[in-house]
Amino acid sequence: MKLLIRGGRIIDPAQAMDKVTDILVINGKVETVANNIEAREGMKEIDAEGLIVCPGLIDVHTHLREPGQEHKETVFTGAAAAAAGGYTAVCAMPNTDPVADNQTVVSFVKQRGINAQLSRVYPIAAITKGSQGQELTEVGDLVGAGAVALSDDGQPVMNAAVMRRALEYTKLFSLPIVSHAEDKTLSAGGVMHEGEVSTRLGLSGIPALAEEVAVMRDILLAEATGGQLHLAHISTVGAVNLVRQAKLRGANITAEAAPHHFSLTHQAVDGYHTDTKVNPPLRTEADVEAVIKGLSEGTLDVIATDHAPHSMEEKDVEFDLAPFGLVGLETALALVVSKLIRPGHLNWTQAVTLLSTNPARIFKLPGGTLTPGSEADITIINPDLERTVTKELFKSKGRNTPFDGWKLQGWAEYTIVSGKIIFQRNSKEG
Ligand SMILES: NC(=O)N[C@@H](CC(=O)O)C(=O)O
Ligand SMILES: [Zn+2]
Ligand SMILES: [Zn+2]
């Protein structure tokens, strides 16, 4: 199998490359990146003129809902959504039913991912049994079954002693601990950001402090243990500042932010649309600016979707009762291009670093570069293509997006895994 991608703008931050050239893929691996590669018989060719060619996007924070909640999403539909969004790999969060806290569920998710033959699926296993926050899981077994990180995402690990032991123990396996940083005693009962909008709408608030207290605790535990901490969905000014200060001290931590936290504020909740109900909640304008600054200066290392599909029936209830979460795989890239690159907050090298290079490095995954010999996981992006987000066209089963009807620029044209095209944009769908 040979694939020649011709004349694209290749952006590979891992080798400080940003140039218009060709790339040849043989047997699933990048063979060469060079000018004027000669086309040979039996080679498939892609004309990438005017397009961006970069290492495949990797989402380190996806909820796939299988096993147990297949009406919301399956590994197959989630991996198809990922492919359509330009992602060549996703890390699947363990808050399934049952929870991925044992080898059986972890290998099941991994195998489902292999069977789908779409984007790669890397399971994340639970930190504690049942994600109940009490008893640690068997890390060695979980790593053996294919877990690439541990997380109780959806729930914080409220017990600091448990988190301390988890950070200590996973050091042996060089495994990141992904923290859903939320102090439940501060967030309890809240359904949106605590501020002027929650007061006006009469909804109970989740204060920024609920995130910041937990972020600070986890940073202290990471510094004390030397464990590898990755902070999920950072959303407040204070949390960005805490991460920045910790990094200046040399702490072994990384952090991510989600597209909805740089694209929307709590004002979007006005109207009580439950597709704006997400945890952590949509915050203030100042928080959005801090997240954007954090991404542009490198305080935040990763853009991750926190793709959290729910069914229409579950979301079609009063705001207080709806589950938290929104889908993100099929809008993330266009939001990065439209909200960060076009306005000049990020350049393309920074965007690819946040979407591919850093995710691969932090979670120690294949891909993340187009250096010869590496996996041919490649995303080809049309930076100028403008489309209207149409949730009915999502490959995901989830329709819970606050971005439906938005006109956005910058969409994946091709998603390639191991040299195989797993997604190609249909020109009719635009
Ligand atoms: N983000 C969300 O609002 N929901 C996530 C859980 C989580 O990421 O905390 C979910 O699993 O639905
Ligand atoms: Zn979470
Ligand atoms: Zn999540």
Q: What is the pLDDT of residue 430?
A: 54
How far is Cα 338 from Cα 345, in angstroms, rounded to an integer? 10
How far is Cα 149 from Cα 170, in angstroms, rounded to an integer? 9
Where residue 428 falls among pLDDT bands split at 50, 70, 90?
A: low
User: Which residues line the pocket of ligand 1, CB cutoff 6 A?
Assistant: 63, 95, 153-154, 180, 278-279, 306, 308, 324-325
Distance in Å, CA 418 to ligand 2 centroid: 30
Q: What is the pLDDT of residue 251?
A: 97
Paired tokens of 381: 């992006």
Pair type for strands 2-12 and 420-424: unpaired
**Ligand 1 site-directed mutation target among 95, 315, 396, 397, most atoms within 8 Å of CB:** 95
Under 8 Å between Cβ of 273 and 266: no
Region 52-57: what's the mean pLDDT? 99
**Residue among 183, 184, 254 at smallest CA distance from 219:** 254
DSSP string of 285-313, one letter each residue: HHHHHHHHHHHHHTSS-EE---B----HH
Ligand 1, atom 4: closest residue by C-alpha: 325
Give me the amino acid identity at 41. E
**Residue among 322, 376, 417, 390 at smallest CA distance from 89:** 417
First-last CA distance in the chain: 29
How far is Cα 204 from Cα 316, in angstroms, rounded to an integer? 19
| Dihedral of alpha carbons 173, 179, 183, 187, sign | negative
CA atoms within 13 A on the CB side of 52: 26
Q: Does 65 belong to an annotated binding site?
A: yes
Could you report the per-residue pLDDT of 63-120, keeping only the tens digit for each? 999 999 999 999 999 999 999 999 999 999 999 999 999 999 999 999 999 999 999 9
**Residue 256, pLDDT above cutoff 80:** yes
**Residue 150, pLDDT above cutoff 90:** yes
**Residue 271, pLDDT above cutoff 60:** yes
Q: Does 71 belong to an annotated binding site?
A: no
Ligand 1, atom 3: closest residue by C-alpha: 325
Which residues are known to be catalytic? 306
The fraction of the chain above a pLDDT of 90, given in percent, is: 98
The alpha carbon torsion through 206, 265, 181, 208 (nearest 10 deg) reads: -50
Please give the angle made by the CA atoms of 352, 231 and 350, to the nearest 5 degrees. 15
| Dihedral of alpha carbons 224, 225, 228, 229, sign | negative
Q: Does 193 belong to an annotated binding site?
A: no
Question: Angle at which helices 208-225 and 160-170 pack, to 10 degrees?
Answer: 40
Distance in Å, CA 154 to ligand 2 centroid: 4
Mean pLDDT in the chain?
A: 98
Q: What is the pLDDT of residue 403?
A: 99
Under 8 Å between Cβ of 149 and 176: yes
Region 210-234: what's the mean pLDDT? 98
**Residue 427, pLDDT above cutoff 70:** no
**Residue 176, pLDDT above cutoff 80:** yes
Q: Helices (DSSP H) in 46-125: which residue ranges?
A: 75-84, 103-116
How far is Cα 16 from Cα 364, in angstroms, rounded to an integer? 19
Whether the complex's predicted ipTM surpasses the cut of 0.90: yes
**Residue 429, pLDDT above cutoff 70:** no
Under 8 Å between Cβ of 15 and 372: no
Distance in Å, CA 413 to ligand 2 centroid: 30
The fraction of the chain above a pLDDT of 70, given in percent, is: 99
Beta bridge partners of 248: none
